[in-house]
Amino acid sequence: MNFSWRTFPKLFVVIPILHYVLSLCVDAESKEHKRLKELEKAKRKSITIAKSMEGQKN
């Protein structure tokens, strides 16, 4: 890829914008991943509590 003085200002503007957009996308995926992880952890805890209650019944 050849850089010239004519393309440099365009890159100076476009690359930070692309970086910002990509960081927003990655952050959104990260938040979604954390939410799913917490949801799965809550499910495991509820199953464990239910099984322990069954054990105490008998």
**pLDDT by residue for the chain (58 residues), tens digit each?**
676 777 778 888 889 999 999 888 888 778 888 888 888 888 877 777 777 777 776 5
Q: What's the pLDDT score for residue 41? A: 84
Q: What's the pLDDT score for residue 27? A: 80
Token couple for 8: 């440099």
CA angle 22, 24, 29 (to 5 degrees): 95
- Alpha-carbon distance values, 31 to 6, 13, 16, 39 (Å): 39, 28, 22, 12
Q: What's the pLDDT score for residue 1? A: 65
Alpha helices, H only, 1-58: 8-57
Instruction: Give the separation between CA 23 and CA 19, rounded to whole angstroms.
Output: 6
Q: What's the pLDDT score for residue 58? A: 55
